[in-house]
Amino acid sequence: MQHNKLLVVGELNVDLLLNHIEGFPKIATEIIAHDMNLILGSSSAIMAANCAALGASTTFCGKVGSDFFGSFIVEELQQKRVDTRYVTVSETHQSGITVIMNYDQERANVTYCGAMETLTQEDLPWNEMSNFTHMHLSNFFIQKGLREGIDSLFKRVKKMGLTTSLDLQWDPQNKWDFDYEACLPFVDVFMPNEAELLALTKVENLEEAIAIVTPYTNTLIVKRGQKGSIGVNGSYRCEKPAFLHNNYVDSIGAGDSFNSGFIKKFMDGATLEVCMEFGNLMGALNTTAAGGTAAFVDSERIKDSIQTIFDIDLTQYDEIKR
């Protein structure tokens, strides 16, 4: 059997988390945060790190700056056993950073994109592409260099025999300029959250939004926070509830952890139901520790946490095939 190999293409940045802040920032004043953390950020990196922790062979393609944050990002990825051979260093841009001000379950983010904007299709390892079995791309809107011709990128990757997945994430400009009719036929799993799908389709009703995109999707997954997720594949539809729990810390990266669980099982050839349940479970696990990767040390500890927190034996998902 061919060994599954995942290539994640996307943005890289650090997250600077400010917690327990005394009120909201105001121009010309200063306030105190009582807790601070510098961690590996970015949707794509969290997805890749957690896939590696789940045991998938994972390689990253992205760009950092020639600076302290860039070295930190690469070291963090390597420590998570992600292959960084296609992470290149920009000579013109600094590494990306997101400053996150946490207020209970809500947060205010400010992002400096930096080097991530300079990643282009030419930076993908085209000559080595057939070594991989699946490509996941995340955070479409903020990667200016990747946006143009995104449909031909997916078409080319599919032609080389890989399966593909896409998580658009939010458009900070709120324009939602993504040609889903052209691109989604080449995406095996399209995985937005509910708010993103509504914004993309410019409607207020989820069923309407689903009806608008499904003529172009292969598998559509809609992530719905504490409501779980919906999966649609042709005329087949499946809804799976979230794994609710009392150990909530924050939901930074929950959608990316969902993606890592879903795609790990998708690459293993599991059914849509199993992929979704496993995705929901990894999304829920994500919310039991700070940031996107803290709950995902390695497969043994993930298994132990799932047993302790959710009273679920993770090995039940091991052998179920499509």
Ligand X SMILES: Nc1ncnc2c1ncn2[C@@H]1O[C@H](COP(=O)(O)OP(=O)(O)O)[C@@H](O)[C@H]1O
Assess 279 for contact with Mg ion (CB under 5 A).
no
CB of 127 to ligand X, least distance (A): 33
No. of helices (H) and no. of strands (E), the chain:
10, 13
CB of 226 to ligand X, least distance (A): 5
Contacts of 87 (CB under 8 A, 6+ apart): 12, 60, 61, 62, 63, 64, 73, 74, 77
Instruction: Closer to ligand X by CB, 140 or 243: give it.
Output: 243
CB of 322 to ligand X, least distance (A): 21
With CB under 5 to 8 Å by kind, the binding choice for 296 among Mg ion, ligand X, none is: none
Instruction: Closer to ligand X by CB, 115 or 187: give it.
Output: 187
- The contact mask relative to ligand X for 264-303 (x = CB under 6 A, - = no) is ----------------x--xx--x----------------
- Rounded to the nearest 10 degrees, what angle do helices 206-213 and 194-201 cross at? 70
Q: Using CB under 6 A, which of the segments 34-42, 140-148, 176-184, 226-234 binds ligand X?
A: 226-234
> Looking up tokens 């599919």, which residue turns up?
158
CB of 222 to ligand X, least distance (A): 8
- Residue 17 forms beta bridges with which residues? 37, 100
Out of 147, 216, 225, 297, the residue judged to bind ligand X by CB under 6 A:
225
CB of 216 to ligand X, least distance (A): 21
Contacts of 318 (CB under 8 A, 6+ apart): none
- If we measure between CA atoms, which residue out of 170, 176, 17 comes closest to residue 97? 17
CB of 276 to ligand X, least distance (A): 9
Q: DSSP state, 193?
A: B
Out of 63, 80, 93, 223, the residue judged to bind ligand X by CB under 6 A:
223
Q: How many CB atoms within 10 Å of residue 100?
A: 20
For residues 179-198, which are near ligand X according to CB under 6 A? Answer: 193
Contacts of 59 (CB under 8 A, 6+ apart): 5, 6, 7, 8, 82, 83, 84, 85, 86, 132
> Looking up tokens 């327990």, which residue turns up?
20
Instruction: Closer to ligand X by CB, 50 or 193: give it.
Output: 193
Contacts of 158 (CB under 8 A, 6+ apart): 164, 186
- The contact mask relative to ligand X for 230-269 (x = CB under 6 A, - = no) is ------------xxx---x--x--xx--x-----------
For residues 245-264, which are near Mg ion according to CB under 5 A? Answer: 255
Binding site for ligand X (CB under 6 A): 193, 223-226, 228-229, 242-244, 248, 251, 254-255, 258, 280, 283-284, 287
Site for Mg ion, rule CB under 5 A: 255
